[in-house]
């Protein structure tokens, strides 16, 4: 029995013999060489696997001997394979070098598709253009901000829910002073603070960019974009704000677009309001209102927050509220883009699927 098992392995190896050498030598490219290799050493169907199956019958004390034989065979196959592979690579490289050279300076034949701006950025630019045409200057602000500019100077009380860990991405900054907390801005109102703190009125500014909140569902993303606009001067009233936002709604959805103001609360404005724009996806006359999912049959879609800048905020930014007043408004760009293009979920805007993006 003992003799038989080891002898059977030896016979098996002898049968495999040298045939692989011829097969490797005649393989004319890497793919067929690898095929031949798999026929010998392949884990599933390689012929060596079959021989190895005989190991089971070899008693423990003779296993090292039998194993050494199998390994020696395996090494030989591997060495022969590596050598042939190197030869094939060298040959194909030689062929390439001696072939007619490519002219890399020739113009390409396929038309290369041009990319375009992301729908959110297209919307941002269109919105900024509306405000620029109304006389607002475009300014940029930082995304990583001091608590002071994002909350404190905007008169958020320290325990306001928006400042909570649940709502805000706080950032640890090495070497920052202990009392200066840093965060990813939760709105673009930080830019309002920065500009008001460094300039003297009059000023009319818009700012756009990413903002961050711990929010995630079909209409909220932890990163989204906002536009903030504000104006500070000696004679400014809520009527000016309404005029500018009505012009904005018309710039966006065409002449006669209705706008509605609802009282609302933000700590940095007084009075404060939310603005709804008449739903452009349905109409009472056409009988489509009763089933409209965009406005939930109300005929109105909420788009922004606004108000008269609170005197405390002006004061925090070094502007005399006895002399100056201002208004401010802010809104999410994704929301406008979703309404504009009828996009049902904010996720589509951030998945970078070319089949989606190519539609804009
Ligand atoms: N910053 C507010 C928000 O992100 C929007 C806003 C801006 C409201 C300016 C009033 C005035 O919700």
Q: Ligand 1 pocket check: which of 187, 188, 227, 331 to mutate, most ligand atoms within 8 Å of Cβ?
A: 187
141 CA distance to ligand 1 middle (Å): 15
- Distance of alpha carbon 126 from its chain centroid, rounded? 21
DSSP H helical ranges for 216-310: 238-253
Where is pLDDT greater, at 159 or 131?
Answer: 131
Q: Which of 90-104, 164-178, 246-260, 268-282 has the weakest average pLDDT?
A: 164-178
268 CA distance to ligand 1 middle (Å): 8
229 CA distance to ligand 1 middle (Å): 9
pLDDT digits (tens, 9 = 90+) for 37-52: 999 988 877 888 888 8
Per-residue pLDDT averaged across 113-142, rounded? 95
Q: What is the pLDDT of residue 200?
A: 97
Q: Are 12 and 54 in contact (CB under 8 A)?
A: yes
Contacts of 265 (CB under 8 A, 6+ apart): 272
- Distance of alpha carbon 251 from its chain centroid, rounded? 29
Question: Which residue's C-alpha comes closest to atom 5 of ligand 1?
Answer: 330
178 CA distance to ligand 1 middle (Å): 28
Q: Is the pTM of this model over 0.75?
A: no
327 CA distance to ligand 1 middle (Å): 11
328 CA distance to ligand 1 middle (Å): 8
- Reference 28, options 89, 88, 97, 90; nearest CA is 88
93 CA distance to ligand 1 middle (Å): 64
Per-residue pLDDT averaged across 163-182, rounded? 85
Contact 189 CB / ligand 1 (< 6 Å): yes
Q: What angle do CA 342, 347, 353 make, to 5 degrees?
A: 90
Whole-angstrom distance, CA of residue 255 vs CA of residue 247: 9
Looking at CATH, the fold of the domain delimited by 119-357 is given as BirA Bifunctional Protein; domain 2 (3.30.930)
Q: What is the pLDDT of residue 3?
A: 55
pLDDT bucket at 196, cuts 50 / 70 / 90: very high
Cβ count within 10 A of residue 29: 10
**DSSP category for residue 281:** S
Whole-angstrom distance, CA of residue 158 vs CA of residue 152: 8
Whole-angstrom distance, CA of residue 210 vs CA of residue 192: 15
Whole-angstrom distance, CA of residue 289 vs CA of residue 295: 8
Question: Which residue's C-alpha comes closest to atom 8 of ligand 1?
Answer: 305
Task: Answer left, alpha or beta for residue 256, where phi above 0 means left and psi between -120 and 50 means alpha.
Answer: left
Q: What is the pLDDT of residue 111?
A: 81
Contact 12 CB / ligand 1 (< 6 Å): no
Q: What is the pLDDT of residue 164?
A: 79
Whole-angstrom distance, CA of residue 143 vs CA of residue 210: 7
Q: Quote the mean pLDDT of the chain.
A: 92
Structure tokens at 99: 């072939």
Closest ligand 1 atom to 186 CA: 4
Contact 330 CB / ligand 1 (< 6 Å): yes
Q: Ligand 1 pocket check: which of 330, 331, 332 to mutate, most ligand atoms within 8 Å of Cβ?
A: 330
306 CA distance to ligand 1 middle (Å): 6
DSSP H helical ranges for 118-237: 119-133, 147-150, 189-198
Contact 329 CB / ligand 1 (< 6 Å): yes
pLDDT digits (tens, 9 = 90+) for 298-334: 999 999 999 999 999 999 999 999 999 999 999 999 9
Q: Are 140 and 207 in contact (CB under 8 A)?
A: yes
Question: Which residue's C-alpha comes closest to atom 9 of ligand 1?
Answer: 329
**DSSP category for residue 141:** -
Sign of CA dihedral 214, 218, 223, 225: negative
If you search the block for the tokens 């756009």, which residue do you land on? Answer: 208
Whole-angstrom distance, CA of residue 318 vs CA of residue 7: 98
For residue 355, pLDDT beyond 90:
yes
């Amino acid at each position: 029995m003992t003799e038989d098992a080891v002898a059977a392995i030896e016979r098996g190896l002898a049968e495999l013999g040298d045939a692989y050498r011829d097969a490797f030598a005649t393989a004319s490219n890497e793919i067929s060489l690898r095929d031949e290799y798999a026929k010998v050493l392949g884990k599933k169907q390689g012929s060596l696997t079959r021989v190895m199956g005989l190991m089971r019958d070899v008693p423990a004390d003779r296993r090292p001997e039998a194993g050494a034989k199998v390994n020696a065979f395996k090494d030989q196959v591997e060495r022969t394979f590596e050598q042939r592979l190197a030869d094939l690579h060298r040959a194909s490289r030689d062929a390439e070098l001696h072939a007619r050279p490519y002219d890399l300076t020739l113009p390409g034949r396929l038309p290369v598709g041009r990319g375009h701006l992301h729908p959110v950025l297209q919307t941002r630019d269109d919105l900024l253009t509306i405000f620029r045409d109304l006389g607002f200057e475009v300014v940029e602000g930082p995304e990583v901000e001091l608590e002071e500019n994002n909350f404190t100077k905007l008169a958020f009380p320290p325990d306001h829910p928006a400042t909570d860990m649940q709502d805000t991405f706080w950032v640890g900054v090495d070497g920052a002073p202990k009392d200066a907390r840093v965060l990813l801005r939760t709105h673009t109102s930080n830019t309002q603070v920065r500009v008001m703190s460094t300039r003297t009125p009059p000023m009319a500014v818009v700012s756009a960019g990413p903002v961050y909140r711990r929010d995630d569902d079909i209409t909220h993303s932890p990163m989204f974009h906002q536009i903030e606009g504000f104006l500070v001067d000696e004679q400014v009233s809520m009527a000016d704000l309404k005029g500018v936002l009505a012009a904005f709604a018309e710039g966006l959805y065409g002449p006669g677009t209705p706008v509605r103001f609802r009282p609302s609360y933000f700590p940095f404005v007084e009075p404060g309001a939310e603005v709804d724009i008449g739903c452009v996806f349905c109409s009472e006359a056409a009988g489509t209102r009763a089933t409209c999912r965009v406005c939930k049959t109300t005929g109105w879609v909420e788009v922004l927050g606004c108000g008269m800048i609170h005197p405390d905020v002006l004061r925090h930014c070094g502007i005399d509220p006895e002399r100056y007043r201002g208004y401010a408004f802010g809104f999410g760009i994704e929301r406008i883009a979703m309404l504009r293009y009828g996009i049902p979920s904010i996720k589509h805007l951030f998945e970078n699927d070319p089949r989606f993006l190519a539609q804009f």
